Amino acid sequence: MRLIVEEDNSKPKLLIIYHNHRDLAIIIKDYFKDFNYEIHLVAHFPENSSSYDLFYYVNPTETNIQYLLHHVSKLCILIFTAKREHAEKLATKLTTHKSFKIVHLQPQSTYLKEDIEKIYWFSLSQQSHNFLSIHRESIIPNTPLPQAPNIASSYRWKFQIQHYLRLRHIPIIIVIIIFLLHFAFFIPLGIASYYNYQSLQRLRNSDFKNSLSISQLAYSYLKMSRTFYAIIRPTFLLFSQAQFPDDIHQLNETSNILVNKISLSQNHSTELIKLIEKRGKSTGEVSRINELIELLKNDIDQMDTLFLQLKDKLPGFIPGKQKIQLELTNGAKIIETAQKLVPLIPTILANKSNKKYLLLFANNMELRPGGGFIGSFGMLDIRNYEISNFQIYDVYDADGQLTAHIEPPDPIRQYLSQPNWYLRDSAFSPDFRNNFQQAQLFIDKTLNLGEFDGGILLTTTSIQYLLGSVGTIYLPDFNEKVNKDNFYMKTQTYAEKDFFPGSIRKKSFLSSIANQLLLALENKPSLDTFLSIKRGLDEKQIVTYFKDPNVYSTMEHLYWTGPVVKQNCAIESSNCAVDYIYPIDANLGVNKANFFISKLIQQKVNINTDGFIESKLTLTYSNSSYNDVFPGGTYNNYLQIMLPLNVKIREITVDSIPVDAYQTSIVLENEIIGFMTYIKPGTTQYIAISYELNQPVKRGRGVYQLIIQKQVGTPNSDVNLSITYPDNMYIVNKNFSPLVKDRTISYNTNLVTDKVFFIEFYRE
């Protein structure tokens, strides 16, 4: 038999697994290269391990150990670089498992070859103990010996040269470094964006001081980002990617400048108010007022530009973009208003002249067509930016001295049984210019206070708005604390309690409130005060009249004069049908029932195939007062509805019962229908009027326009509008966003101020 000798050239297989400390695993691998082993280095235990003869596992977890116990029968060395107690306990636990040996190696900045050699000989040892702890007393953990840096450096460079800085990896590393450098500017830019956002949030809450400090912090990061970006911007331009980072930088810079400008204008306006309120101004202080006005004009012009830039640069990915755009639009409107008002300050506040204004205080809880029952009035004298005289009168100071007969409007004579007309009922026109002239006539015939350069009517609601901007004020003369919530009831208490002709309690109370308000406004942010006054003007709780044509023209353009609006078509068109409604209430019940009244306005418009327009206005009144308990009670309302001229009245009903007795008249180029209604406590009343416009819309392109006017002093009523159009008509454009269904467009809104709705159409 021939014997064949075969030589086995296969090498024993060594598997080195590391859970962490890869550097230690590599040192073990390098050590075993000197022996005849086939070495495999892995970070996770392979599924098939039966072919391996020896295992080294660096820092295994408890789960790894359990897996090894069930799947490995070959020699396995478990090396721990920390937790000596844990390693000792594990060694005790695995005493019966002869295949497992436990090594604890002291953690250090690098490991010596002799440490690995000890581990190797321990793994081959036939001794019974299965635990080895390697600890060098001369080495403090994490503190290398003098030679350690050289050893560590040797190993570190070895690893980097062999595994990272190989020739084929260098281009990748360079690309990564260049990439990181090109996007490093986003870190400070992101921080700047966050701080700018926080600064704007503080600004919304009128926290000017913190807003400015956060803005300055944002600027420092923005400057850092700009510096980095300037270096690498040519690369972004090369790839046409510079637009986005340019816009984000511009957005941050604009918001940063805007915050600074608003804070600066706040300081200027606060200083201006304090100087105006100061008595006995010097020539230098008057000059400073004029200087501050010019500074404010410049601030506002710059802010107007910044608001537009901010809105244009707003990126689409920002969360809540629509809400932010709405706030920016509202901010731009405030700036636009301020642009118109600031130049008028010298004229209104009598720079180098004298001005005298009439203040009318209207109780809109006892509503009149022009805002409310006039309970008090005031005279304000201004000379060269200074209030030289401010005096409040009770209305009976004038009415008690009226001896001449002045014929009252018919509703006052008929339903109030008053043969004479008095100042307290002077606000009986829906147009404030007429009411101002009528009030001045009464005052001339009684107190002879002279000519006024203008007038301002303030309702009870407007005073509440103003109190809301300053908080609670204390009246030392009355030992009372007054705020927006209790102002009306306290005023009524001092007006009604122990009242007798000639009593000064009410005017003294109002004078005390006015004086304390002026003091409070000196220390409150002027923006809050400005917004509360603007709200009163926008919602027609404050209306004005000025004899100076420039001032009056500006106020009229802002809709702050309380006029009956002209029925002009908003869009130039020869085929325009203008519809117009103006419900006007007059509480003639000698009570304050309007405190409990809510009103819903519904307008249904139907355009037929021939172009004729029929409208139905429904007013829903609800009286929530208690049964005949003052200040509430039955709402005796003389209702007037102003409509376009020459309309055809189809029907008027109250709770579906036809109304035959009503008055008609022509006032200010409008047709007015008036009649008395009575709404008892706890009831709801429906008043409807159907009418047809005097002109149909023609074929071709045309416009239908509806104007709904709000009465001075009324709360913000809900409005429901629906317009039904025929099959031969197509809607081309509209200035509101309705719900469209079955050739009917529906829209719900709130009558905060006068509303103008128009639809452009094409009729076949």
State residue 152's pLDDT score: 45
The answer to whether the CB of 401 falls within 8 A of the CB of 409 is no
- Alpha-carbon distance of 50 to 71, in angstroms, equals 8
Confidence category of residue 141, pLDDT binned at 50, 70, 90:
very low
Q: Which two tokens stand for residue 130?
A: 């299965």
Residues 735-764: what's their mean pLDDT?
Answer: 92
- Alpha-carbon distance of 721 to 744, in angstroms, equals 10
The answer to whether the CB of 671 falls within 8 A of the CB of 646 is yes
State residue 761's pLDDT score: 93
Residue 42 carries which side chain, given as an amino acid letter?
Answer: V
Confidence category of residue 547, pLDDT binned at 50, 70, 90:
very high
State residue 415's pLDDT score: 93
Residues 289-298: what's their mean pLDDT?
Answer: 92
The contacts found for 279-288 with CB under 8 angstroms, 24 or more apart, are 279/386, 279/387, 280/386, 281/384, 281/385, 281/386, 286/351, 286/384, 286/385
State residue 151's pLDDT score: 41
Q: Which two tokens stand for residue 92?
A: 């005790």
* Beta strands 597-607 and 648-654, pairing class: unpaired
Least confident of 11-25, 442-456, 649-663: 11-25
pLDDT tens digits for 448-466?
Answer: 898 999 999 999 999 999 9
**DSSP-assigned states of every residue in 405-445:** --PPPHHHHHHS--SS--GGG---SSSHHHHHHHHHHHHHH
Least confident of 49-58, 106-115, 616-625: 106-115
pLDDT tens digits for 715-725?
Answer: 999 999 999 99
State residue 525's pLDDT score: 54
- Alpha-carbon distance of 189 to 402, in angstroms, equals 72
pLDDT tens digits for 475-524?
Answer: 888 888 988 888 888 887 776 655 555 556 666 788 888 888 877 776 66
The answer to whether the CB of 504 falls within 8 A of the CB of 394 is yes
Residue 631, preceding bond cis, omega within 30 degrees?
yes
Least confident of 145-149, 182-186, 358-362, 411-415: 145-149
Q: What is the dihedral of CA 80, 84, 90, 93, to 10 degrees?
A: 150
The helix or strand, by DSSP H or E, that contains position 703, with its residue range, turns out to be: strand 700-708
* Beta strands 542-546 and 576-584, pairing class: unpaired
The answer to whether the CB of 726 falls within 8 A of the CB of 609 is yes
Least confident of 115-124, 193-202, 639-648, 709-718: 115-124
State residue 719's pLDDT score: 96
- By CB atoms closer than 10 A (0-12, 13-18, 19+), residue 531 is middle
Confidence category of residue 676, pLDDT binned at 50, 70, 90:
very high
Report the interhelical angle of 460-470 vs 487-496 (nearest 10°).
130
Would you say residue 54 has pLDDT above 90? no
pLDDT tens digits for 382-391?
Answer: 999 988 888 9
pLDDT tens digits for 685-730?
Answer: 999 999 999 888 999 999 999 999 999 999 999 999 999 999 999 9
**Number of C-beta neighbours around residue 589 at 10 A:** 20
pLDDT tens digits for 548-576?
Answer: 999 999 999 999 999 998 888 888 888 99
The answer to whether the CB of 705 falls within 8 A of the CB of 579 is yes
The answer to whether the CB of 695 falls within 8 A of the CB of 580 is no
Least confident of 61-65, 435-439, 728-732: 61-65
pLDDT tens digits for 26-39?
Answer: 888 888 877 778 88
State residue 317's pLDDT score: 63
**DSSP-assigned states of every residue in 448-508:** -----SEEEEEEHHHHHHHHHHH--EEETTTTEEE-TTTHHHHHHHHHHTT--TT--HHHH
This prediction's pTM: 0.73
Would you say residue 154 has pLDDT above 70? no
The answer to whether the CB of 435 falls within 8 A of the CB of 429 is yes
End-to-end CA distance of the chain: give it in Å, rounded.
117
Would you say residue 162 has pLDDT above 60? no
Q: What is the mean pLDDT of the chain?
A: 85
pLDDT tens digits for 356-385?
Answer: 999 999 999 999 999 999 989 999 999 999
- Alpha-carbon distance of 394 to 399, in angstroms, equals 9
- Alpha-carbon distance of 23 to 728, in angstroms, equals 84
- Alpha-carbon distance of 222 to 353, in angstroms, equals 49
Q: Tokens 């109304």 map to which residue?
A: 659
Helices (H) and strands (E) in the chain, counts: 20, 28
Percent of the chain with pLDDT over 90: 41
State residue 144's pLDDT score: 43
